[in-house]
Amino acid sequence: MLTPIPDLLKTIAPKQRRIDAQQAKSEIDENHGLLIDVREPAEHATRAAVGAVNIPRGVLEMKLMEIEKDPARPIYLHCASSARATLSAEQLTRVGYENVTVISCKADDVCNAFQA
């Protein structure tokens, strides 16, 4: 039986740390965390948060291991609505990243919070 994505998110989301864009900006300014946009490149090209690294969800685990070798570094994930970020956070936790946070708002809110 297939599990609908909204049902899957209901089981995954409570296990993930979730914050808004303003709190993420404040934390990253202090802890030098890594902001990752898990949207597709075309979405990222349309409008991106300043400082965000675009790694689409489909290749996130492989690419992030090349970029960030410290499993304790704070990682902040965002997408268009937080669904892909939530699924991505689960996967990063499974491969060993210890400090993963979902920015649980729309991409425009993240972009606004991270304006230069």
Residue 13's pLDDT is what?
Answer: 83
Tell me the average pLDDT of the chain. Answer: 95
Q: What are the sequence ranges of the domains in the chain?
A: 5-113
| Short-list 112, 52, 61, CA closest to 90 | 61
Q: Which residue has the higher pLDDT, 70 or 13?
A: 70
Work out the average pLDDT over 49-78.
96
Nearest to 60 by CA among 45, 38, 83: 38
Q: What values do phi and psi take at 29, rounded to 5?
A: -60, -35
When pLDDT is averaged across residues 12-25 and rounded to a whole number, the result is 93
Q: Could you tell me the pTM of the whole model?
A: 0.94
pLDDT at 116: 61
Looking at the predicted structure, is the pLDDT value of residue 44 above 70? yes
Compute the average pLDDT of residues 18-34: 97
Label residue 8 by pLDDT band (50, 70, 90): confident
pLDDT score of 66: 94
Q: Which residue has the tokens 């946070």?
A: 101
Closest of 39, 28, 25, 29 to residue 82, by C-alpha: 39
Q: Regarding the domain with residue range 5-113, which homologous superfamily does it belong to in the CATH classification?
A: Rhodanese-like domain (3.40.250.10)
